[in-house]
Structure formats: structure tokens, C-alpha cells
Chains A and B, each alone.
Chain A
């Protein structure tokens, strides 16, 4: 198996928590993983990306080549579009629908929605609403997004559940349960709404 994921968002949105769960899921199950992050200047509200590569064979490059990503997993809708050249032909875009508007020329929301819905394979999630509804806390929205991408990640779902537990257990049972619920809700949503 091999799944190459572009994680996308805006500095400060915490995409690295998604990467941490993936990393834990990979490493405790003896999979190979490379995950390149963006640190430094761009963390100040700029566009950020992380390349996460999971495989049962050694992973060489830290970066994903263009046209080969299996999934673009974005926590911000415009950022999902920025990395389309990386997506393989039958790859999936999984994105949050909530715009983060911190630039004056942010595109009209209607145009953004149209561009996303025109994608052949995409899951568009109101992650905050789903996190509130399923987990009782909007802060679990990033884990909702991971759940929404999970049907397209070629590892058993239990690995991701255990990854969530490993990453959040030091914050207490309440936080862990909340994030497990968020993960499952995201997965359920994607299964029902993948288009």
C-alpha cells in the first residue's frame, strides 16, 4: 500500500495535529512514513502545506511529486485548490468548507464553492459544524477532516483510531473521546457524501 497526502491550510490552523495522528498510526504499525512540514516565516498566517507519505515499502523522497498525490486534505477551501497540480488523476480532494479570509483579494465565496464542486472527486465538509454536532466541540474539526479523508487512506481505520488515542491521551479521556467521535463522524460523512 501507499498513500501520499498533501495536508494544506493556513499557518496557525494546526494541520500538524493531523500529521501527528497519521505519524503515530504509521509508526506503531511498522509502516514507513515521511512527513515534511513548513516551519518559520510562513507559519504567520501564510499558506502552509505538509507532505505526508505512508507506505509498506521504504519511502525515499520527503516531498510528493506533482500529479501523484492520492489525497489533498485541506482545512481551508481556497488552500485545497492551491495544490491541485499535485493530485493524481483519480485522487480525492477532502476539504473544509470554512474560508479563512485574511487577505484583501480573497475570492468570492460563490466562485470558490463552484470551483470545489466542479472537482470530479471531492468531499466538502462543514467541519466545525460536524465537530460541534458529533463531538460537542468545534476544536475537533481538524480530526473531523482526517476522518473525512480516512476512506481514501489505505490503512485500517483502527490504526487511525489508535493514533488519535496516542496523540490525545495525555490531555485526558474527555479530549480523547471527543476526538474519536470527531474522527468517526468525519468518516461517516465522507462515506455518505463523497462525490
Chain B
């Protein structure tokens, strides 16, 4: 069968479809977005009627997937690494309830923070929840292991976490696929108490989860995901996790002289690691993200010499590559012959020419000059670029929805005026409950929902709040007189300034909604329309 050229995340999507999923649940986030997009476009998924709409946030996605699993069908839920924080409540408890139909959680980590706020390592979540974790090294493994993860999930009655990182997620390679499975039939849990986490049930379920751990760990040694390869030079033994294995192979042109344990399934294959430690003088751990494995092997009291990211053999932060791995192995690399000429300057990303956020920031900057004590709390999205020149309009960006709630806390502390800028989709994701807090207390905050009717940074997915922003605000209790909808274009600049100023002067909750569609999305939609007459 001919190989298909797939992104790592597309290979995950295809693997899930071929594993017989009945639904994908997700909120867009780099580098996970294309999993759901691939399923949305897939002929098999469309023909089968697989659920493939975006969810409002990662928590609703995780819970919906668990519901589908409850009903006996296979469900995929995907998110970027920080989405795991939003979904963690459900994730942790889904390990305790266990699953019915197979459930696989994909966390796409972003070491080096190419498009993120931190580089947290989702393998820690897997350990935290006590569920098996798979970490494919390449695109073919991404396909194979996604299929395998669903079997594993049903075998152990647990959700399985699949961890990918940016480099594999957003790199294409040839992938061989196999015919798809049928979907599971609807079938309900045998024990009605399984999903009722009253303390009396939860204790029992938790003991059952703990009881599975030794066998799950033992199975890691027999799993085809992990592999021991012998080598003649036993001065060093190498543990290579996930994509780090590729860099090791690159450095040695596919033939490392040292014994190697390739790890793509956790908990660690203990026997393989013990053998490696027994046969080799020293160990080197190559892993993308946190020193999760290294810490485990090193321990506080252990005597084995273990090198990795903790002792500085590899850098503690940032993604790995072949150069960094070669340096850790003490292997000289080909010298670079040319430096970057001094005339080359940085080219940071910027808001598109003609973007509505530009009109919002232009007006906001003008108004805020009169309020030196004021601060602008912002959020996650294209408008985060308002922190950079030429606007430099915003003072905070922390997590999805934190603009409104941080503005509230700052206002509670006496900061005035507390202004916030949040996008329509981020508002739907995690801003609504914060707005409710503000309304409940009548906090003096001016909230600008810069509405471009799209999740733009990730490629223009539909916003869950599309067409409903005012209705949501009214429903939460924002006063009609202080709910202001505007059209942010240059000719309305003065009006925009006036409204922002008026609402800053109002000592209660105001919501201003400058609304104009994302120009990127508008042009894509236009092209799509031209293609399909």
C-alpha cells in the first residue's frame, strides 16, 4: 500500500479514525489543532457521522469524550499541553471511574514554546492520574500507537494518554495505514456505580486503579512500544524517549554503539532499565520536556551516575535536536561555516494589516493615555500580539480567560481603571464564569470582547460564541446600557474612543464588543465559496 504523507498530528487523527472512534472532542490549540481538522475533512469520518465539532473548551471536550465512552463507544479528545490544565479535573477522575468504550487523550506539548505560555510536560499528568502514557517517536508510530492506545484503553478499562511534541506533530513523513475498524456498538457500563464518584464508590474505584498499577507497569517491559537494543560500547547506556530517539539515531546514522532503551510507553519498562544500568557504566537520559525519567532514575539517594537535563549534560529547557544530543554524547558535529550576518534583524509576528484588533488597540491606547493608573489585562489569542510594538497595549497574558478575572482582582485591590481585552472564543472558553463573578459583585471593570467571530491564531475555527456574545452577556446579567457593540474600522475610531472612555468612567461592569470578522478567515471563506459554486 502506498504511503501517505501525513503530519504527525494527522497520523494521530487517521489512527483514531481507523481505530473506530465515534467522536473527537477538542478545543483548537497549537500544535494539536490539525488532529480535529483532519477528522472534520475525512471521508470516512463524514460517511460514518463521527462527532467532529469543536467543543467550548478542553474540559467540556474531555467530559463529552468520557460520556461517549460511558455509552460504550470509542472517543478521542485532543488539546495542547496547557489544555490539560483546563481538563485536569475530568482527566484525573476519569482514571478513577475508568472507561467503558476506549478513550484516548492526546496532549500536544510545545517545548521551546513556539506558540505557548509554558513548556509543561504532559507525561507528568499521566503519572499523576496513574494511566498508561504512549509517546510515539515518529509519524508511523503516531498512527500505530493511536490505534494501539484504544485497545490498551479497553484492555485496562482506563483512559490512555498519548503525548506528542511540536516537532513530531508538525512534521510530515510517509505513513502506511491499515483498513479501519468498525465502531463499537452502543453498550452501557455493567456496574451502575462505576461512574458515580460518591466517596463510598470512589474509594473502591481508586483501590481498583491502584491494584492495576503493578500489572500495567510489568506490561511495559513486554510492550512493542519499548525496545532494548544492545551495543558493544557499554561505557554508556542510553534511555531515549519519544522523539529524542530520532536525534540519537541521527547522530549515529542509525547505529548507536551503546546499548539503548527506546521508551515510547510509560510507566517505564523497569526490567530493561535495570538491565541497562547493570550492564553499563553510566546512563544518559534523552527526553523532550521535563527530566521526568531522569529524576526517577536518579532519585535522591541513588548512586548510579545518570546524566541528562538535570546535571547540565543537556539544556534544562527548550526542545532537543541532533546538535544538542551530539554535544551531550561528546561527539563533534560539523562546524558551521557561516554566521548570521549582522544586518539580519528579528521579524516578530504581528497583527495582520487590516485586522480589527488593530483598530481596537489604536483606540484603547489613545484613551488610556489619560489614565496612567490604568492597566490592560489581556488573554490568549492573536490579540496577545498587542503586547509587542507598535501597540504595546496590554499588561498581562496568563491563561485562557484570565483577563477578566485578573482585572477583577486588580479592581478589588483598588487598581483603576481595570480594563481587559479578550477574544470571542477565549470568552466562550473560559471568560463567561469570570464575567459572572464581576456581575455578581458589580466590580468596576471594562471588558472589551474583541470579536472577530473566529479562533484565528489556530487557523480560523468557528468560535463557540459566534452570534451569541451579547445574548451570553445579557444572560449573565450585564446591563443593557453598558453592553456596547461597535464596528471597529478606521473611520469609527473616534466613536470607539468615546465609547471606551464612557465605559471606563462607569463604575460597574461594562462590556464593549467591537465586532468585525477575521480578515484571514474572510479571505479563506471567500476562496472556499469560489471553489464550490
Inter-chain CA distance A38–B33, complex, in Å, is 13
Residues of chain B within 8 A (CB-CB) of A82 are 340, 344
Taking CB atoms and an 8 Å cut-off, the chain B residues in 1-18 that contact chain A are 2-5, 7
Could you tell me the distance between the alpha carbons of A79 and B351 in the complex, rounded to whole angstroms? 20
Interface check B458, CB cutoff 8 A: yes
Chain B, residue nearest A111 (CB)? B343
B173 near A: Cβ within 8 Å? yes
What is the minimal beta-carbon distance from A169 to any residue of chain B, in angstroms? 14
Rounded to whole Å, the gap between the CB of B346 and the closest CB of chain A is 7
Q: Can you name 20 A-B pairs with beta carbons within 8 Å?
A: A11-B349, A19-B172, A23-B5, A33-B5, A35-B172, A37-B172, A39-B459, A44-B352, A47-B347, A60-B246, A60-B254, A62-B168, A62-B243, A66-B336, A67-B337, A86-B336, A105-B345, A107-B343, A111-B343, A115-B341
Interface core residue of A27, A61, A63, A87 (most chain B CB under 10 Å): A61
> How does the 8 Å CB contact mask read for B322-335 relative to A, with 1 for contact and 0 for none?
11001000000111
User: In whole Å, how far is A50's beta carbon from the nearest beta carbon of chain B?
Assistant: 9
How far does the alpha carbon of A28 sit from the alpha carbon of B352 in the complex, in Å? Answer: 37
Q: Which of A1-29 contact B (CB under 8 A)?
A: 10-11, 19, 23-24, 26-28
Taking the closest CB of chain B, its distance from the CB of A88, in whole angstroms, is 7
Minimum CB–CB distance for B331 against chain A, Å: 11
Chain B residues with CB below 8 A from A19, complex form: 172
- Contact A39–B250 (Cβ < 8 Å): no
- 8 smallest A-B Cβ distances: which pairs? A40-B115, A40-B30, A46-B349, A61-B250, A107-B343, A36-B171, A62-B171, A60-B249
**Complex: how many Å from CA A105 to CA B347?**
9
- A34-B172, A39-B31, A62-B246 known; 14 other A-B pairs, CB under 8 Å? A28-B2, A39-B33, A40-B114, A40-B457, A41-B349, A44-B457, A45-B347, A46-B347, A47-B347, A60-B246, A61-B246, A65-B334, A66-B336, A86-B336
The residue that A115 contacts in the complex, of B33, B322, B343, with Cβ under 8 A, is: B343
Which single member of B115, B173, B333, B340 contacts A33 (CB below 8 Å)?
B173
User: What A residues does B33 contact at CB under 8 A?
Assistant: 39
B382: interface (CB < 8 Å): yes
Query: How many chain A residues touch the partner (CB < 8 A)?
Result: 56
A62 touches B167 (CB 8 A): yes
Which residues of A have CB within 8 Å of B334? Answer: 65-68, 88
Q: Is B339 within 8 A of A84, CB to CB?
A: yes
A103 to B349, CA, bound (A): 10
Measured in the bound complex, the distance between the Cα atoms of B335 and A111 in whole Å is 26
User: Which B residues lie within 8 Å of A174 (CB)?
Assistant: none
Interface positions of A from 76 to 90, Cβ below 8 Å from B: 78-79, 81-82, 84-89
Please tell me if B230 contacts chain A, counting CB pairs below 8 Å.
no
CB closest residue in chain B, given A114: B343
Are the CB atoms of B171 and A34 closer together than 8 Å?
A: yes
Nearest Cβ distance between residue B162 and chain A, in whole angstroms?
18
Let me know if A46 and B344 touch, CB within 8 A: no
Interface string of A50-65 (1 = CB under 8 A from B): 0100000111111101
* Closest chain A CB from B426 CB (angstroms): 15
B427 interface residue per 8 A CB criterion: no
Contact A81 B321 (CB under 8 A): no
Q: A59-B173, A103-B347 are in contact. Are A65 and B457 (CB under 8 A)?
A: no
Given contacts A65-B321, A115-B343, A87 and B457 within 8 Å (CB-CB): no
Chain B residue, CB-CB nearest to A31: B174
Check B349 against A33 for contact (C-beta < 8 Å): no
The answer on a CB contact under 8 Å between A34 and B345 is no
Residues of chain B with a CB closer than 8 A to A47's CB:
346-347
Q: Find chain A residues with CB under 8 A from B385 CB.
A: 41, 44
B481 within 8 A of A: no
Chain B residues near A86 (CB-CB < 8 A): 336
| A65, B30: Cβ atoms closer than 8 Å | no
A39 / chain B contacts, CB cutoff of 8 Å: 30-31, 33-34, 115, 170, 459
Residues of A within 8 A of B347 (CB): 10, 45-47, 78-79, 102-103
CA distance A11 to B333 in the complex (A): 31
Closest CB-CB distance, A172 to chain B, in whole Å? 11
**A44, B351: Cβ atoms closer than 8 Å:** yes
A32 within 8 A of B: yes
> A44-B382, A61-B322 are known contacts. Are A27 and B4 too (CB-CB below 8 A)?
yes
Q: Mark B12-40, 1 if CB is under 8 A from A, else 0.
A: 00000000000000000011011000000
- Is B186's CB within 8 Å of the partner chain A? no
Contacting residues, chain B, for A115 (C-beta < 8 A): 341, 343
Chain B contacts of A32 at CB under 8 A? 173-174
| Chain B neighbourhood of A78, CB < 8 A | 343-345, 347
**Contact code string B350-367 (vs A, CB < 8 Å = 1, else 0):** 111000000000000000
Which A residues are CB-close (under 8 A) to B250? Answer: 60-61, 65
B167: which A residues are within 8 A, CB to CB? 36, 62-63
Is B337 a contact partner of A40 (Cβ separation < 8 A)? no
A-side contacts of B382, CB under 8 Å: 44
Is A138's beta carbon under 8 Å from chain B?
A: no
Residue pair A112, B343 in contact (C-beta under 8 Å): yes
Query: B70: CB under 8 A from chain A?
Result: no
B338 (CB) vs chain A CBs: closest residue: A84
* Set of chain A residues within 8 Å of B5, measured between Cβ atoms: 23-24, 26-27, 33, 35
B114-135 interface with A by 8 A CB criterion: 114-115
Q: How far is the CB of A38 from chain B (nearest CB, A)?
A: 7
Given contacts A39-B170, A65-B334, contact A44 B339 (CB under 8 A): no
- What CA separation (Å) do A178 and B46 show in the bound complex? 34
Residue of A nearest to B29 (CB): A40
- Bound together, the chains give a CA A33 to CA B459 distance in angstroms of 25
B340 x A81 contact (CB < 8 A): yes
> Chain B CB within 10 Å — which of A39, A79, A103 has the most?
A39
**A106-B348 Cα distance, complex, nearest whole Å:** 12
Q: Are B350 and A44 in contact (CB under 8 A)?
A: yes
Complex contacts, A106 vs chain B, CB 8 Å: 345
In the complex, what residues of B have CB within 8 A of residue A57's CB? 254
Question: 1/0 per position for B224-237, CB-CB distance to A under 8 A?
Answer: 00000000000000
- Bound together, the chains give a CA A68 to CA B250 distance in angstroms of 12
Tell me the complex Cα distance, A107–B348, Å. 15
The residues of B that contact A67 with a CB separation of less than 8 Å are 333-337
Chain B residues in 8 Å Cβ range of A36: 167, 170-172
**What A residues does B143 contact at CB under 8 A?**
none
Assess A85 versus B115: contact at CB under 8 Å? Given A33-B172, A37-B170, A59-B173: no
Pair B339/A45 contact, Cβ less than 8 Å: no
Known: A40-B457, A42-B115, A65-B323. A85 touches B340 (CB 8 A): yes
